[in-house]
Chains A and B, each alone.
Chain A
Amino acid sequence: MTDSQTDTVVQLSGVSKVFEGRGQKAARVEALSGIDLSVRRGEFISLIGPSGCGKSTLLRIVGDLIGVSDGTVMVNGKLAREARLAREYGMVFQAPVLFDWRTVQRNVELPLEIIGRPKQEREARAREMLALVELGDFAGHHPWQLSGGMQQRAAIARALALDPAILLMDEPFGALDEMTRERMNLELLRIWERTATTVIFVTHSIPEAVFLSTRVVVMSARPGRITKIVPIDLPRHRDVETREMEHYFELVTEVRESLRGSEGEAVDPRRVAAEGLSA
């Protein structure tokens, strides 16, 4: 009992979120309803579902970037707000959101600056993180001098700088081309193995979710609910060959079918078709 408690990083109970429409015409939107989920330390959880199913909202609720309408969010035994104030989160967005005026090195130093670490420690830590994402040679560049994939790696280095208990990633590779995306998937797994951090990852790519995760959380739209949780029992260490395993395809199919089963009118058939091709 105690063991499983200390091992739980995120505990969502009965979480719901309603966006009250402002003005007369804006409708009241029930974004999330009755979400229960617990994430153990070291897990890699993907949230997947049709657009508008509230997966990004759920991620922001875990990170205390927006509040809940009902229910509780516990992170490391604390309320989400307390966890945020204790700087337990690393955030990665779909865009890198690096600061133009800072070099890559100083972008990674940013969170360390905010918590007031001394200069030497900041520099050493940032160098270490940049080496981890293989950007050591680009420390002195400005973000706009790097490619999209490199920028996103810098953003991951920044997110890891504070050694967060949990890494929240909102479609971090959604804007990258397919080849870069697959390479970034491998790199993310390598980083995840080395840092042993807990990851919650929002995506709308089924192959990506299956390849990366220990569990895939399938959601439906309006209101956003969890319809199924698919455990991914592939070997923990994954590489290029994992994508060719038969069991990988079975899991991709399983996730796809549970998505189809849960699908509201919000599923975009073109997207499903595109994912079928890339799988």
Chain B
Amino acid sequence: MSTRRRLRPALGFLLIVAILLVGWEAAKLLAGDPWRFPDYGFYWDPPLRWKPVNDLNLPHLWTIFGAFWELDAKGETYLSSLIGAAFFTARESALGFALGTGVGLGLAIVLIHVKVLERGLVPLLVASQTVPIIAIAPVVVVGLRAGWFGVAIVATYLTFFPVTIAAIRGMRSADPRAFELMRSYAAGRRTVLRKLRLPASPPYLFTAFKIAASASVVGAIVGEFPAGIRDGLGGALLQAMQYYSFSPQDLWAAIAACAALGIVAFLLVVTAERIALRGYRPTEDGARA
């Protein structure tokens, strides 16, 4: 029964993916370019024509899937080169995530104790997040000499903000009487932080970590563009974009690799959350797990 419960969300996910894929091909069946399978003597001319689903904009799934097995000059499949790129980008985004959560948490601790800073700094932080990452990335990456560390800093930039906001909320989430209780023990600020504010935060923090996990992947990919780094998924995307007009399936394959990395990052956080929140009061969300 417990394995069945654990499998149910995975089955739901697969079902939705299947529906999307079927929808994808159904659209092409209805309004795409003609289907040609000369080997099987099969030809289908869709009754409608709609540009967004033609073979250039929305290649057949099997074409994309086939792209994974194409060999490059070194005799390596595209799939294995994408996996290598994913590991490279994962390293950048993992460092960005770690730095981002560290900075985000540290900032929240400072802000919660210095009210003046909170009022002055939070609007600035909000402003920092409205500047498109694509504009910030060259500044950071070029400033840090275009290494993979610079890319990780771009990921940090995207990561820290949700953590700061959630941590501030979490550290204030305890019952006001819990703070009175700590006061009655003559507990100092540090003790209140360690024994009450921080341990009260994880239920809020993990929501931010989920956002931050995806954001750190995006940050790492986008950071690779101006850095001219060709070893990661950003590089793979850039390369595939150049050849899009005659080989669109390569870009779609690279996009699938980016999505897979994002999902893995998210699942890692979800797993960590399940372990970390075991001692906490179950919520509707937690009860499902």
Per the bound structure, the CA–CA distance linking A168 and B184 in Å amounts to: 10
- Name the prevailing secondary structure of the A interface residues: loop
**One of A65, A101, A142 near B180 (C-beta < 8 A):** A65
Return the CB mask of B167-182 against A: 1 if under 8 Å, else 0: 0000000010110111
Is the beta-carbon distance between A113 and B281 smaller than 8 angstroms? Answer: no
Given contacts A95-B175, A99-B196, A101-B279, contact A115 B185 (CB under 8 A): yes
What A residues does B281 contact at CB under 8 A?
100, 142, 144
Per the bound structure, the CA–CA distance linking A84 and B187 in Å amounts to: 10
Nearest chain-B residue to A103 (Cβ)? B279
- Judged by a CB distance under 8 angstroms, whether B191 is at the interface is yes
Band of interface residues on A: 20 to 34
- Judged by a CB distance under 8 angstroms, whether B183 is at the interface is yes
Distance to closest chain A CB from B205 (angstroms) = 13
- Judged by a CB distance under 8 angstroms, whether A110 is at the interface is yes
Is the beta-carbon distance between A91 and B279 smaller than 8 angstroms? Answer: no
Distance to closest chain B CB from A155 (angstroms) = 9
- Judged by a CB distance under 8 angstroms, whether B116 is at the interface is no
Band of interface residues on B: 20 to 34
Per the bound structure, the CA–CA distance linking A248 and B231 in Å amounts to: 85
Pick the most buried of B191, B196, B200, B279: most chain A CB atoms within 10 A of its CB. Answer: B279
- Judged by a CB distance under 8 angstroms, whether B127 is at the interface is no
- Judged by a CB distance under 8 angstroms, whether B275 is at the interface is no
What A residues does B228 contact at CB under 8 A?
none
- Judged by a CB distance under 8 angstroms, whether A87 is at the interface is yes
Given contacts A93-B177, A95-B175, A100-B279, contact A63 B184 (CB under 8 A): yes
What A residues does B187 contact at CB under 8 A?
114
What B residues does A144 contact at CB under 8 A?
281-282
Is the beta-carbon distance between A84 and B184 smaller than 8 angstroms? Answer: yes
Per the bound structure, the CA–CA distance linking A110 and B178 in Å amounts to: 12
Is the beta-carbon distance between B180 and A93 smaller than 8 angstroms? Answer: yes
A residues adjacent to B (C-beta < 8 A): 60, 63, 65, 84-87, 89-91, 93, 95, 97, 99-103, 110-111, 113-115, 142, 144, 162, 168
Q: Which 7 A-B pairs have the closest CB atoms?
A: A144-B281, A91-B184, A100-B281, A93-B177, A85-B186, A97-B177, A101-B279
Known: A93-B180, A110-B185, A115-B185. 18 other contacts (CB 8 A): A65-B180, A85-B186, A87-B185, A91-B180, A93-B181, A95-B177, A97-B177, A99-B195, A101-B200, A101-B279, A101-B280, A111-B185, A114-B187, A114-B191, A142-B279, A142-B281, A162-B185, A168-B184
